[in-house]
Structure 1
């Protein structure tokens, strides 16, 4: 069944594809253009083109087609399983690996690897994201909890929601932070100027990041960060916002930066209450080799 939406234009201005992304911020402009092309979007009961300029009073009808599930195959990809029992697994995801398949990344993802290495995975997030309770970005390394059944998935997801799980990251940022620790409490939403980026926006969702300085170098600072909330690109967006973007970040940081494979951001510690035994479990993963080597080089710079 297609999902149906009805909108009436009140003060929005501009092209229909742009206006629709304002009305539905979770949707991309290319998705809107596809709906228009497939005649799933009507203005005043008429088909339009993507460059149609909306008028006050226009009535928009959208029949959003159901997503066709991807055929996700198990793939023999090396996977570091830090812990596993009948309910949960903890994975140390390498830098460069996408968590779940999408149109741009149909294979080679963590999910493809999980389907090969682990027999049972929760079905709550459907075919595309079996077992996936939370994500980290493609070029962020580190620990992820995986649910092997729906009971475990619900329990772990509830801990993320009520902020009782523990997630600590290590990051290398541009600039020398003068104070020892701080908290960034600023709402995050989709950027209005670049749909691929997140930004601090007034109407965004609450996001809180705590940070502590571990070490200072002439032009960089090594930080430990704790997440209170888990928004998309949260640490990357928050650090850019306070003027200390993450080194190597191709989206939020400066272009000329340290040599690496993306941002120097590692999810090194993960803690949660086991969904069946109620025991508190804590896991640690060492920094990737390239991260360690970069820190060593910085220590010898003056």
Structure 2
């Protein structure tokens, strides 16, 4: 079913192109916003607009948003490099490799953790949407490390609550460019979709509250290895916050990393790894904690930066 939205154009969108404005208002890509405009589904004071038309604050905007496309179903097939750190009747803790998404999403055609588990004959909790069965938290496709998936329905509900109440301890390590000052600190800055609508996120006034704590593990000439503790779990949170303090994660070209340094370290993705994951076991209630070793590409990059001094 289509979703009709009506509102005055906010002051902050005065003079903005229609496609850019829709992207910012509704979290759409610029291309999707342009398609909606081309279909005649955007009216300004009752008249259809073109994608390059400029909006005026206070004008009455009517937008008919088409229903989002249905996410694809998981493909049950083994995933190369998907390791198992722990498993019992309630949970399976995986060591997620790079290039693997947590679950199917619109636009993602690569392998997924969910599909990989189903492909080995494992069963997972059926709670939640079909394309996210058993998934209680996510890692970016190119972020590696420890990730828990619920196998039982009880585990699913208890773990979802634990993540919501922030009782799960998630520790990451990130190799960032330069040397953060202070060496130990907190980034408290709201995050929302980047105004460009290109799929990135950014520190945005009025965004969702986001808090990242970091501590220096080791400083090198060109970069610093950080231990990172998330108080909140926003999409791309560590990547956005490190970029916002002008110390982007090495190899993270989407968020401002130096491509020359990335090439020198042999990085084809961001140097970000979910190294530890701890929580109350949803079955027996005791505290459990799991650790994931560095994958080969990150270990090689760390050796290379250390050799630089």
Which of 279, 284, 298 is the matching residue for 1:272? 279
Equivalent in the alignment of 1:16: 18
Contiguous gaps of at least 5 residues in structure 2: none
Map 1:55-134 → 2, pairs under 5 A: 55=56, 56-78=58-80, 79-134=82-137
Which of 155, 172, 176 is the matching residue for 1:173? 176
SS at match of 2:254: coil
Contiguous gaps of at least 5 residues in structure 1: none
Q: 1:71 to 1:45 in 2, by over 3 A?
A: farther
Question: May I ask how many residue pairs the two structures share in their alignment?
Answer: 301
Q: 1:95 to 1:63 in 2, by over 3 A?
A: closer
Choose 105-114 or 80-89, whichever is displaced more: 105-114
> Which is richer in helix?
2
Map 1:44-59 → 2, pairs under 5 A: 47-55=48-56, 56-59=58-61
Map 1:79-228 → 2, pairs under 5 A: 79-177=82-180, 179-193=182-196, 195-228=198-231
Contact 1:70 1:127 in 2 (8 A): no
Over aligned residues, Cα RMSD in angstroms?
2.3
Contact 2:86 2:94 in 1 (8 A): yes
Q: 1:220 to 1:57 in 2, by over 3 A?
A: closer
Equivalent in the alignment of 1:295: 302
Which of 246, 249, 274 is the matching residue for 1:243? 246
Contact 1:69 1:127 in 2 (8 A): no
Equivalent in the alignment of 2:258: 254
Residues 108-153 of structure 1 deviation map (CA, whole Å, 9 limit, x = unaligned): 2223212212532234441322222111112211011112244322
Q: 1:46 to 1:239 in 2, by over 3 A?
A: same
Q: CA deviation at 1:30?
A: 2.4
Does residue 5 of structure 1 match 2:5?
A: yes
Instruction: Provide the C-alpha distance between the structure 1 equivalents of 2:306 and 2:254, rounded to a whole number of angstroms.
Output: 26
Contact 2:86 2:93 in 1 (8 A): yes
Q: 1:31 to 1:207 in 2, by over 3 A?
A: same
Instruction: Provide the C-alpha distance between the structure 2 equivalents of 1:178 and 1:238, rounded to a whole number of angstroms.
Output: 14
Q: CA deviation at 1:244?
A: 1.7
Map 1:25-40 → 2, pairs under 5 A: 26-40=27-41
Q: 1:298 to 1:48 in 2, by over 3 A?
A: closer
Q: CA deviation at 1:93?
A: 0.6
Instruction: Provide the C-alpha distance between the structure 1 equivalents of 2:42 and 2:181, rounded to a whole number of angstroms.
Output: 52
SS at match of 1:112: helix
Contact 2:91 2:149 in 1 (8 A): yes
Contact 2:42 2:61 in 1 (8 A): no
Q: 1:33 to 1:150 in 2, by over 3 A?
A: farther
Q: 1:107 to 1:172 in 2, by over 3 A?
A: closer
Q: CA deviation at 1:42?
A: 4.6
Instruction: Provide the C-alpha distance between the structure 2 equivalents of 1:270 and 1:165, rounded to a whole number of angstroms.
Output: 7
Q: CA deviation at 1:281?
A: 1.1
